[in-house]
Amino acid sequence: MDRPEPVVSGTALRCFRCSPVPRPPAAPDAYAYLLGLYLGDGHLVTSTRTPVLRIACSDAYPGLITSCEQAMLAVLAARVQRIPKQGCVSVESSGNHWTCLLPQHGPGRKHERPIVLADWQRDVVAAHAGDFVRGLFHSDGCRVANRVTVKGREYVYPRYLFANESADIMGLCRWALDLLGVAWRMNRRNSLSVARRQSVALLDGYVGPKS
């Protein structure tokens, strides 16, 4: 007697990594953006019965909160919660298959353990480097007005900064910027700067100021 096929439900229906037929993500741009957010301000809780993806977004940027929520829904989530915290909003989604899509999860802080993309993740990021960089800068970056004084005259120009304690995540940011043709330099051990006018203009097309 043939046994009935097991019922596939929940996030298993949307997990492209668990599909019987290998397939790319349905929304690779949203995945690349969400991956950038996760590497910056995200945490995948696996100690609960169902894994919970949590990404902390500053409550000063409601547009960022909405973008994070939309990315989760596009990638896997059927439902997303906004949990108010002190100075931020935790955007959260429960789902057994978040662990399939974010294999960088693990015990301890990200800068205290290796962060290496799987081959399939590198393919997605390489094809959507702008979205990945936007996620990184929306989490651990900023666009500022840099002021310098030369011979008594003040000059103001836009500049992007990205800071992260993980050397691996910093390396991924540099790699993605190189793919986009954006010139950068390390201004500190844990921080890079994009200041050349042409590169700032390029990054404006992908990132722009937070809102």
Residue 104 one-letter amino acid: Q
64: nearest Cα among 125, 130, 11, 136 = 136
Q: How high is the pLDDT of residue 10?
A: 59
User: E strands within the chain?
Assistant: 42-45, 52-58, 81-85, 88-94, 141-150, 153-163, 185-188, 191-194
Is position 100 within any domain?
yes
Is position 10 within any domain?
no
Is position 181 within any domain?
yes
Number of domains in the chain: 1
Is position 4 within any domain?
no
Dihedral angle, C-alpha 131, 70, 49, 87, nearest 10 °: 90
Q: Each residue of 31-59: pLDDT tens digit? A: 999 999 999 999 999 988 999 999 999 99
Is position 97 within any domain?
yes
pTM: 0.91
Q: Each residue of 134-143: pLDDT tens digit? A: 999 999 999 9
The rounded radius of gyration (Å) of the Cα atoms in the chain is: 19
Parent domain of 42:
27-206
Is position 22 within any domain?
no
Mean per-residue pLDDT over the chain, rounded? 92
Is position 111 within any domain?
yes
Is position 15 within any domain?
no
| Cα 122 off chain centre by | 13
Query: What CATH number is given to the structural domain containing 97?
Result: 3.10.28.10
Residue 208's pLDDT band, with cuts at 50, 70 and 90, is confident
Q: How high is the pLDDT of residue 7?
A: 41
